[in-house]
Amino acid sequence: MSFDGFMHRHIPVSDFSDFLENIIYKSPKGVYASCSYYNHPAKNMAEKEWKGSDLAFDIDADALNLKCKNQHDHWICKNCGKVGKGPRPNSCIKCKDNKINVLTWSCSNCLGATKNEAIKLFDILVQDFGISQKNISTFFSGNKGYHLVVENSVYEKLDRRERREIVDYVSCKEISLQYLGFNKKFSYSQLIQHMPSSNQPGWPGRMAHFFTDYEIDSSADSLNDSEKIAKLYSSKSKFNKIFKQSVVSLRSNIDPSVTPDTSRIFRLPTSLHNKSGFAKIKCEDILSFEPSTQPVVLGSEPLKINITFCPVFTLKGITYGPFKKSTETLPTFASVYLLLNKLATIA
């Protein structure tokens, strides 16, 4: 992607030095690579001849609709410069103009939440889909989320519709109580016989685990797992709420439009994200991965910038801001972060 915002696609490279030469010569704003395999990758889409695609997933903090968004997301009126917290209004509350920029920010809560979604997804891929751990690469996206890419698997040939089923499975979309064994017409003893068990694989096992861990009351202490789940189900209105909670808690909240796309391009690993200046890097151990430190690869040399506005942010363990209409000298990585978010200009 060039600095005018347009994508330049289908660029063939013969080897790594050719690739580097292209990068240096073109100085792109962002670099992407396809997760698909083609017989003729340099030709246009119609002539490429698709051979298969990695099974790829995108997890982004913006899609999680976390409560912290209301605290750190802002809108900025292009006309009068008015800044407001939370979702974008239809028009500026000060000058009534409707040309408004939206600033989606991230915090440690957002980054923790996306990491949690990535961990859940990893588990589903390994346990349910039988994908070998060595074939799954987990990347920090370089901004507010993670990319999980499955290579060399039997799923490479899946078409869009089939991948959509995978998305719905991972997202627990339209999961039906009926196929977990619940039935309104069952008597209590029938229910006990049909309850999912935490020994089962897949969703029945995960759901059963969630339900048996759920605290009901002391009278449930003497019940076995099936009896406990049946008792929970019998408390109708309460159960519906618990079921919804289980779905939200157990599913992996992936971007549903990314995985089915069999000609998707993803930011190139190790390249810099054009909205943050952080690198997209592979997480060898996601549990110990530090998203506000490890991907920050630019230098710490001081860089003076004029900041229009910016909320608090933490990089490499140091908290910056908030700033409003001020000139600051920050480490290059922090200044670049604000410059790319269009919140500052070089002084």
Partner 1 sequence: MKLVDVGKEDYAKYPFLPETGDFVQKLNFTINDLLDSDYNILENAKNRIIYGFKHGTSPTSISNVEVDILSFPLALLLIKSTNNSYAISKFALAESKRIENFLLNERQSVIPKLFEIILKIQPIEIKDDSVGKWDYKIPLTGYLPRSLHLRGINWRLVNRLVDQGFVYVKHKEIVELLRSEIYEMIIAKLDEIKIPPSLFENKSISKIIKEIQNSTPRPPLDNRNIVFTGEYPPCISKAIEMVKNGDQVKHYGKFLMTTFLLRAGKNVDDVIKMYPTSLGFSESITRYQVEHIAGLKGSGTKYSVPSCKTMQTNDFCFKTKACGNITNPLQFRNKTNTVKKNTRQKH
User: Which residues in this chain contact partner 1 in the complex, by CB under 8 A?
Assistant: 5-6, 9, 44-46, 78, 87-88, 90-91, 98-102, 127-131, 154-155, 157-159, 161-162, 164-169, 172-176, 178-179, 199-204, 256-257, 260
- For partner 1, the closer CB: 127 or 234: 127
Nearest distance from residue 9's CB to partner 1, in Å? 8
H/E stretch holding 70 reads helix 69-72
Q: The tokens of 345 are what? A: 């200009």
Active site amino acids:
58, 60, 255
Strands 145-150 and 313-315, how do they pair? Answer: unpaired
Nearest distance from residue 86's CB to partner 1, in Å? 12
Beta bridge partners of 85: 74
Sheet with 145-150: strands ordered across: 55-60, 145-150, 136-140, 281-282
Beta bridge partners of 77: 100
**Residues in Cβ contact with 304 at an 8 Å cutoff, skipping those fewer than 6 apart:** 327, 328, 329, 335, 346, 347
- For partner 1, the closer CB: 168 or 225: 168
What is the spatial distance between Cα 235 and Cα 220, in angstroms, rounded to a whole number? Answer: 13
b (16+ CB within 10 A) / e for 12-44: eeeeeeebeeeeeeeebebbeebbbebeeeeee
227 burial (CB, 10 Å; 0-12 / 13-18 / 19+) is middle
